[in-house]
Amino acid sequence: MYYLLKLFPEITIKSRSVRRHMTRCLAANVRNTLKPLDRRVTVRDGWDALHVTLPDGADEALANEVEARLTRIPGIHEIQAVSETRFTSLDQIAEAMVPPWQALIAGRRFRVSAKRRGEHGFTSADMERRIGARLLAAAPDARVDLTAPEVDVPVQVVDDRLRLIQRRLSGPGGYPLGLQGQALALISGGYDSPVAAWRMMRRGIKTHFLFFNLGGPAHEAGVREVTHHLWERYGLSHRVKFISVPFEPVVGEILRRVPDGLMGVVLKRMMLRAASRIARRARIPALVTGDAIAQVSSQTLTNLSLIDEASDLPVLRPLLTEDKQAIIDQARTLDTARFAEAMPEYCGVISRRPHTRARRHQLEAAEADFDFAILDAAIAAAETTLSHRLAAPDMAQPAPRPATVPTVDSPGELVAAEDVSVIDIRSPHEREAAPLALPGVPSLAIPFYELQQRADDLPEDRRYLLYCDQGVMSRMQALHLHDRGLTHFGIYRDASPR
């Protein structure tokens, strides 16, 4: 048995030279994807299809993994598992078609579709009639329907060999990866950005990944995991870059300098400024984001146009007009949804009254006091990991995290403990809007974007419990501190600020 890989239909309508180039590129991608499984797997390109042949004696496990990988390679429309036998007569062909199709057509309407290549003493129509008659004799409760069959019975003859299609599997379609250049996709680990990156990959674009870290090692570990999954399943033929930028200091500067309603837009502008510079340095000509119109306040058409002004590279948005549920459905198909479902929401910059129609002069005034040296330092501190090393244990990987972080749920526990202080890590405007009231409990106000720098100065003979409204950022910060060996930090939650 071997596999025929049918080309994506848009490839077949290209000019002869372009089609040949695309087919050769696809063949190379298939080789790169399958060779790690067994170097004896052979790939041969042809005009209508690619041929993939497994080594003699290949076991079922190898065949199953080969089929799974083939269904995820961009440029492939359909995978046909094919067996071949020699024949000497039309009757022999008809007899060979009975075992694989008799049960499948029983009680159903069917049609025989024959194709042949070579010199024969019969026509394709002769094949269809003879095979149809033999199948009807083997399955009397079936009937022929040439216009609306329930089952299509394909048969192919090439010279003196009969091709029997054992299985048909759908491929992703699209163009061979790497054929249409490169792009840098901003990835966060949510539903949208992995789907946006995959859509670019499916259209033949070699897609690298850029991550802005807002939550420390825990955040990066989750995004590395989803990125590795996306690359390993759908882009294995090409090695790409994963670039991580420490953006917590930038978030801190935004919270200190930028008016509340503009924080989200300014954050996106800072990300695109950084992404544009990093992409140019890597000679990548375009950026990709998972934005969809009106999904959040920063993604109105007005705000998106102002955000784009921060980049001197084109920003591609393959999800721009998609509904959220359609994006989630596709994330589940790609098996990236499970990562998004386990990924906490990082409350880096959340405006209470976000502007849906920011004005250019407002943004310019808001950014006038921003210390751009902080952005420069974040870009300079960016770290690059090649895709095949994302899952490998190395120094770039976050240290193992504790299974649990000490957590206190009730004010009574705090009052009873003499060695405990609570640190309110919310931003100043959040604290002012809803002060944390814990009578008799020592408390500190250290916004989350300053905590990592100030934690070392806090005495180790006390326990410090971090507090934020939803408990997400406090947990991420506590995990980050535990990663650094500062295990006297925990979490306080379920308080009722007044």
Catalytically annotated residues: 468
How many angstroms separate the CA atoms of 342 and 202, rounded?
Answer: 26
What is 224-259 written as a DSSP string?
Answer: HHHHHHHHHHH-TTS--EEEEEE-HHHHHHHHHHS-
For residues 54 and 62, the answer to whether their CB atoms sit within 8 Å is yes
How many angstroms separate the CA atoms of 383 and 319, rounded?
Answer: 28
How many angstroms separate the CA atoms of 187 and 212, rounded?
Answer: 8
Query: Among 377, 343, 346, which residue's Cα sits nearest to residue 214?
Result: 346
Query: What one-letter code names the amino acid at 151?
Result: V
Rg of the chain in Å (alpha carbons): 30
Strands (E), 331-419: 383-386, 407-408
For residues 319 and 292, the answer to whether their CB atoms sit within 8 Å is yes
**Alpha helices, H only, 116-215:** 124-138, 192-202
Q: Output phi, psi for 237, to 5 deg.
A: -70, -15
Which two structure tokens, joined as six digits, stand for 487? 């295990």
How many angstroms separate the CA atoms of 110 and 166, rounded?
Answer: 17
281's CB contacts (< 8 A; 6+ apart) are none
468-477 b/e (C-beta count within 10 Å ≥ 16 → b): bbebebbbbb
Which two structure tokens, joined as six digits, stand for 383? 């770290």
277 alpha carbon, distance to own chain's centre: 23
Residue with tokens 């849906």, as numbered in its chain: 356
Burial of 261 (0-12, 13-18, 19+ CB in 10 A): middle
Q: Is 295 helix (H, G, I), strand (E, B) or coil?
A: coil
* 406: region left, alpha or beta (phi > 0 left; psi from -120 to 50 alpha): beta
Q: How far is CA 294 from CA 190, 290, 319, 323, 331, in A?
A: 17, 12, 12, 10, 19
Q: Output phi, psi for 89, to 5 deg.
A: -150, 165
